[in-house]
Structure 1
Amino acid sequence: MKIPHLRWWIVALIFGASVLNYIDRQTLSVLAPTIQKDLKLSNEDYASVLNLFLIAYTTASLLSGKVVDKLGVRVSLALFVGWWSVANILTGFARSVGSLGAFRFLLGLGEAGNWTAAPKAVADWFPARERGIAIGIYTLGATVGATIAPILIVGLATWHSWQAAFVVTGLAGLLWLIPWLWLYRRPEEHPRLTDAERTLILSDTSTETNPGNAVAGWGKWWQVFGRHEVWLLIFGRMLTDPVWYFFQFWFAKYLYDGRGLDQKQLTVTWVVYLAADIGVLGGGLLSGLLIKRKVAPAKSRLWVMLGCALLVPVAAAIPHLGSLWLVLAVGMIAVLAHMAWLINLSALVVDLVPKGSLGFTFGVVATGSSLGGMMMNKAVGGLVTHLSYDPAFHFMLLLHPLAWLLLWQLRPRPAA
């Protein structure tokens, strides 16, 4: 039996994996005050645990792309989701900073693969004009996961224990494997794909007017590292992704330490992640509309990113605001703009890189994200211990504008 609009069912399953990815990632940060007390962790211990996750995440970002290119999306994503789900279950059995760090390291090894397999699936299943919104949908899974995590995780911990929160959410990932393995195939070989949809997917040949789309110069892993486009994208993520990591890993702690909220009151952070939901959809839709108006795909992404780069710096005002609701409102603006930025930066990679090298290249670019996150965690851990959270917010004045100036070099230029 044929399934109409199958490509949207595919992206819906990847959306589900992304929800689980971020729930599992956020569980530690949501429960950080409780776990710190139970396991007797300092703020610097907590930062070290976060960085173990990111060290593994960086390593896996490099390696998982090659796994995706070699094994294909179906097998590799099943492998990644199964791995990180088991690691999340094991986190519930941590009894010290050492075991907690080890299990979060294992989590990072699995979680990075979601973000190298997903763009490869989008490149296989979607024409260029739909890629922005497709990437927006599966990235929406991340922000939906982050949105519901405070309520779900605090609820599970209140119902039973913080350990139960890790076990239950990990089991959900193992259940996800059943529909994924049943449904996913490549479009060329999928028996449930309609002829009309197969024609739409396989007839799309749109590319940028940019020499980076030539397959020559991308085929070997060392050639990827020689592309100036790749280095610009790496630095773009290294500069800007720390903003998102800060809101994931430290914002709840900031509200607890600096604004006097207790563990149950931290569920209020869901509104910031709701703004992220809007950002991922809005960012993809805006660049898609520009493409429909005949703006080149890469340039459309960059124009949307310029607007985002002007909005994210409002986060620097947060430590100077008296009202909690103003703090949350400004946080919402910054996170919304950052996620719209991230969607378009991710779409740039898909636009510019040949499909055969996409998984590995996306993983290489993602290392910029985790390297930036590790530097941020180390810096914030020290600042919180010895000074305050204020300088972390102040740095957000500069990061996105500087990154945009670098990435503007990726705009397509007329042939000489």
Structure 2
Amino acid sequence: MDQDKTRFRRWRQMVALLFGVALINYVDRQSLSVVAPRMQAQLHLSDAGYAHIVSVFLLASAIAYGLAGFISDRLGTRRAMMLFVGWWSLAEAATAFATSIWALSVARFCLGLGEPGLWVAAPKAVSEAAPKERQSLSIGLYTLGATVGAVVALPLIAVITRHLPWRSIFLLDGVVGLLWLPLWFWISRGWPRGTAGAGDGERRANGVGALLRNPSTLRLLVARSLTDPVWYFFLFWFPKYLIGDRGLSLESASRIGWVVYFGAGLGTLAGGAISGRWIRRGMTARRAYRSTMLCAALLAPLSPLAALCGSSMGAALIAAVVALAHMAWLVALTATLVELYPAEQVGKAAGLVAMGSGLGGMLSSEVVGYLVTHGGYTPVFCLMAVLHPLGIALLWPVFRERPSMAEIARGVPEPMSP
């Protein structure tokens, strides 16, 4: 009984800390898009140039995702998270001092090298500290921190930059991230510290080759490259859309734009809660995650209605539904990853799969920049309508493959052929 209480307390602490750092992470990401019009004016940066800055960040993210899993597995969740958060907080603070396009690019590249580590180490923390029936809920709860960060970023930055120079927001962001580190250092003491003692045979069994031989890995990677650009659009472009295309002031955009990120927050809760409920009622984990992702893929095609809606608030509400669908999808996809791979491979698997997020986001940023420059935002909303349906079609075989690597590790026998 005491052991159960200890594990439950550890689970709550883990979720609270991950929620908080995910919130910080997304305020950091959102800051640039909110102050983008003023930043572009001062640096004489076009929309295409802004797209290049976003691409630099996402290129670094793709590289970091590929490395972060190995770092997390080697150092352990505790030390790896401290490294990631400390690095990106310093990079965010450095953005405040960028006075040229080159310096801004370097700062955002460094930010991109640090931030993805959270989204690789967090699933590993879940696999270590969360009971199976709470794993999808845990992922939903800490991902909610990201969407809460996106919700509060618009009004918070609008208030701060009304009284302080717009560059100060980056410095404040960095300081808050550094203040989170002592809390993590204290509460996470005693957690696993990596696989430095693993034997050669175990390292080979848990290496990248074993992951790449699993057909699910490539499918999950490509699915993230297809669908994560929807979220990157809402994160890096939607505030600009409201201000530039809809003609709203920053204050007006902050009163409307938060609705989109609130919808995304509901999606993180829905993705974890619904699939978890289905599992508790006897549905297999794979079928529960597949059903959740299918429902999300059926909502995503509403996207073009946002561009066609005459009301800015109406457009934001439609976008909120699409954001809700995407975040429910992402939670279920991440929970699928935790289900498919054994705990000692989760970090590397999460990193490899998340590389698709950075690569897809980098490509989509250039595509969005081109479309916005030459055709406006309507083609972008139309493009987003088809990405999740393509993703679920690609992933469908993943839920039929048997047994998973995690199941093999748990001793689940190979099913008899029909």
Query: Normalized against structure 1, the TM-score is what?
Result: 0.91
User: 1:88 aligned to 92, 106, 110, which one?
Assistant: 92
Q: Which residue of 2 aligns with 1:401?
A: 389
Q: Distance in 2 between matches of 1:163 and 1:325?
A: 29
Deviations 1:278-302 (A, max 9, x none): 1101110000011111111111100
3-state SS of 2:282 partner: coil
Q: Which residue of 2 aligns with 1:234?
A: 221
Between Structure 1 and Structure 2, how many residues are aligned?
A: 391
Shift in CA distance, 415/98, structure 1 to aligned 2, threshold 3 Å = farther
User: 1:274 aligned to 238, 242, 262, which one?
Assistant: 262
Q: Distance in 2 between matches of 1:397 and 1:51?
A: 22
Read off the aligned partner of 1:155 and give its amino acid letter.
V
Shift in CA distance, 216/43, structure 1 to aligned 2, threshold 3 Å = same
2:324 is the counterpart of 1:320: no
Q: Which residue of 1 aligns with 2:294?
A: 306
Compute the displacement of 1:253 (Å).
0.9
Q: Which residue of 1 aligns with 2:143?
A: 139
Q: Distance in 2 between matches of 1:308 and 1:41?
A: 36
Q: Distance in 1 between matches of 2:364 and 2:62?
A: 14
Q: Distance in 2 between matches of 1:72 and 1:186?
A: 11
Compute the displacement of 1:92 (Å).
0.4
Equivalent residue runs for 1:34-183 within 5 Å = 34-183=38-187
Further displaced range: 401-410 or 180-189? 180-189
Equivalent residue runs for 1:217-256 within 5 Å = 219-256=206-243
Q: Distance in 1 between matches of 2:334 and 2:253?
A: 30
Q: Distance in 2 between matches of 1:161 and 1:372?
A: 33
Deviations 1:84-142 (A, max 9, x none): 00000000001111111110000000001000110000000112111000000111111
2:278 is the counterpart of 1:259: no
Read off the aligned partner of 1:135 and give its amino acid letter.
I
Unaligned runs of 5+ in 1: 190-214
Compute the displacement of 1:226 (Å).
2.2
Read off the aligned partner of 2:264 and give its amino acid letter.
A
Compute the displacement of 1:167 (Å).
0.5
Q: What CA RMSD, in Å, does the superposition of the two structures yield over aligned residues?
A: 1.7
Further displaced range: 104-113 or 368-377? 368-377
Query: Normalized against structure 2, the TM-score is what?
Result: 0.91
User: 1:390 aligned to 375, 378, 383, which one?
Assistant: 378
User: 1:287 aligned to 269, 275, 282, which one?
Assistant: 275
3-state SS of 2:167 partner: helix
Q: Distance in 1 between matches of 2:326 and 2:317?
A: 14
Shift in CA distance, 170/392, structure 1 to aligned 2, threshold 3 Å = same
Q: Distance in 2 between matches of 1:18 and 1:52?
A: 21
Read off the aligned partner of 2:208 and give its amino acid letter.
W
Equivalent residue runs for 1:325-336 within 5 Å = 325-336=313-324
Read off the aligned partner of 2:161 and give its amino acid letter.
A
Q: Which residue of 2 aligns with 1:18?
A: 22
Q: Which residue of 2 aligns with 1:356?
A: 344
Unaligned runs of 5+ in 2: 194-201, 403-414
